Amino acid sequence: MKVFEEMDSYGHEMIVFARDEKVGLKTIIAVHDTTLGPAGGGTRFWNYATEEEALYDVLRLSRGMSLKNAGARLKLGGGKAVIIGDPKKLKSREFFHAYGRIVQSLGGKYYTAEDVNTNTTDINHMHETTQYVMGTPEISGNPSPFTARGVYKAMKAGAKALYGSDNLAGKTVAVMGLGSVGHFIAEYVHKEGARLKVFDINKDAMNRAVTEFGAVAVGADEILTTQCDIFSPCALGAVLNVNNVKNLKCMMICGCANNVLVDAATGDALTKLGILYCPDYIVNAGGIINCEAEIVDPVYSADAVNKKVDLIYDTTLNIIKLAKDKKISTAAAADEYAMGIILKARK
């Protein structure tokens, strides 16, 4: 891979390759854009098959963080880090001390948080050697309730745009994935009087939603095609592509999962089908909004975070309008909206 060519095409400012032989640490930290503030984004621990794969992942993810942070109007640029290796074999307190020292050496250009295969214990260990962490359990705590709140607000905004009212009572919401975020989303819409259809590969999670919210459990092969008003993907990314969107029986898609659409063509296909897609990184920004508060606000306050998260409602409506005015998909409109904020700040 020609690294500088890749940096040019994605627009990265800096990529750091670092290692610590003693603990077997290999990491790539990508700072995509710091126009709006220090680069913020989690550290992913993954046993990548090749170094190219790791580099590609960190380039793509860090650019995504620039858009996500800008879209949420945060004082954060975009960054991400990957640690290459088997988390089960490598993880230890000393390992994350070594990683923390590398983050610290960047002098605050990059703030890390948890991501796939890194958790709050690891964050605490990093925090022992670097001040540049977000999402410490002692301060901002679990981000999932904030993420769920943001998705719920976006869903209401989508309903407002579609039906003229943001009331979800009587609507049927199909939730795929009832984990840390999906469960709270189901709770929000249930409390508002929506009907639920749910699927999770974890039977306990699914049964809990059936018991607590009167949800109807559907099968793995049904969740994408079941009749509903709103489909809420809250498990994996890349669940929708140009082929399977034709089978959807919903009016709106709004969930917490990252990278829901396989590609830009899927966004265009949804527009053609008349299905409103609420863009993933706009609606699921509650967690990073909570993280940002920890490092930007003079005193962390969950109430203040909730107020910022609630702005996702207006942002979603703005993006839906932009898409309509420009006759583009909402996914493309989200990119244009977020890039616009960065470009304006640059000027």
Interacting residues with ligand NAD (CB under 6 A)? 143-144, 147, 176-182, 199-202, 205, 234-237, 256-258, 284, 287
User: Closer CB to ligand NAD, residue 13 or residue 48?
Assistant: 48
In angstroms, rounded to a whole number, what is the distance separating the alpha carbons of residues 253 and 270? 10
Cβ-closest residue to ligand NAD?
179
Nearer to ligand NAD, 256 or 332 (CB): 256
Q: CA-CA distance, 251 to 242, in Å (whole number)?
A: 16
Q: How far apart are CA 90 and CA 87, in angstroms?
A: 5
Does 80 qualify as catalytic in the annotation? Answer: yes
To ligand NAD, the closest distance from the beta carbon of 138 in angstroms equals: 18
> How near is the Cβ of 178 to ligand NAD at its closest, in Å?
5
Nearer to ligand NAD, 235 or 309 (CB): 235
Work out how close the CB of 179 gets to ligand NAD at its nearest, in angstroms, rounded to a whole number.
2
- Intra-chain end-to-end CA distance of the chain, in Å: 32
Q: Which of 144, 151, 134, 181 is nearest to 300 (CA)?
A: 134
Q: Which residues pair with 195 in a beta bridge?
A: 172
Q: Give burial (CB, 10 Å; 0-12/13-18/19+) of 317.
A: middle
- The rounded distance, in Å, linking the Cα atoms of 314 and 9 is 31
Residue in 2, 68, 75, 80 annotated catalytic: 80
Which one, 44 or 109, has the nearer CB to ligand NAD? 44
From the CB of 38, what's the least distance to ligand NAD, in Å? 19
The residue ranges of DSSP E strands in 112-270, in sequence order, are 172-176, 195-199, 216-217, 230-233, 252-253
Tell me the pairing of strands 110-111 and 216-217. Answer: unpaired
187 membership: H or E segment, kind and range: helix 182-191
* Cβ distance to ligand NAD smaller for residue 83 or 102: 83
Minimum CB distance to ligand NAD smaller for 35 or for 207: 207
Residue 80 token pair: 């991400």
CA 188 to CA 256: how far, in whole Å?
14
Give the C-alpha separation, 127 to 249, whole Å: 46
Residue by residue, DSSP assigns 84-113 as: ES-HHHH--HHHHHHHHHHHHHTTTSEEB-
- Shortest Å distance, C-beta 61 to ligand NAD: 11
* Sequence letter at residue 129: T
Structure tokens given for 138: 């002692």
Task: Choose between 43 and 271: whose C-beta lies nearer to ligand NAD.
Answer: 43
Smallest distance, ligand NAD to C-beta of residue 83, A? 17
DSSP code at position 222: T
Q: How far is the CB of 168 from ligand NAD (least distance, A)?
A: 20
Give catalytic residues, as residue numbers: 80
